[in-house]
Amino acid sequence: MARPRSDSPSLFEILEKPDFSFETKAMTNGLWPCAGLDEAGRGPLAGPVVAAAVVLDPANIPSGLDDSKRLTAVQRDALFDEILGKALGVAVASVSAASIDASDIRKASLEAMRRALAGLPLTAKSALADGRDVPPDLECTCRALVKGDQRSQSIAAASIVAKVIRDRIMTVCGTQDDRYGFEVHMGYATARHRAAITEHGAAHRLHRVSFAPFRN
């Protein structure tokens, strides 16, 4: 006799959704405003790493905030506009490919987050950063959250803003130099991108020459 099929989702189908609990705790502890920090562009072969800092309005949080990688481009664009319209503060910063080469991608990502936090139009008393590391030299306390963009709505909002801005930067790069297809792959190591690198070499000031395949 066949076993009846459950209509409940399996453990592996349940996705953790970000909430506002970390921010609420910060408010309770007198550490408000609390900013979410995240970056986009650690892995690509080209372009800057872009970070965003977002302070959400607790009374007006956009619906549907999530890790930018779990959203479609259409969803990200819509939420980007909503975040900018509803948040108490948003700031974006970037670190160029040349600066990444002069240091390393981890340090560059943390520096971009530091700059984004410093660029907010209001002074944050605390921050939540995606990942394992706290950006150095911050003017406030900060907590690092592994998979923070799937746990904190403020970090999720920052991940969306950073991703949308970086994608738009790379799209412009693609219109300025049509040899590589940046507007399609956003600088990631796709087969098309690698083939273009083999044919044309590195794009000056845009490719990260400290990354493979350039080092090889």
Which residue has 């984004």 as its token pair? 116
CA–CA distance, 48 with 103 (Å, rounded to integer) = 13
CA distance 187 to 6: 43
Which residues make Cβ contacts (< 8 Å) with residue 133, sequence separation at least 6? 106, 110, 144
The string of pLDDT tens digits covering residues 68-84 is: 999 999 999 999 999 99
85-116 residue pLDDT tens: 999 999 999 999 999 999 999 999 999 999 99
The torsion of the CA quartet 158, 51, 13, 24, rounded to 10 degrees, works out to -40
Instruction: Take residue 121 and report the two structure tokens written for it.
Output: 């139009």
Look up the pTM and report it.
0.92
Reported CATH class of domain 17-168: alpha beta
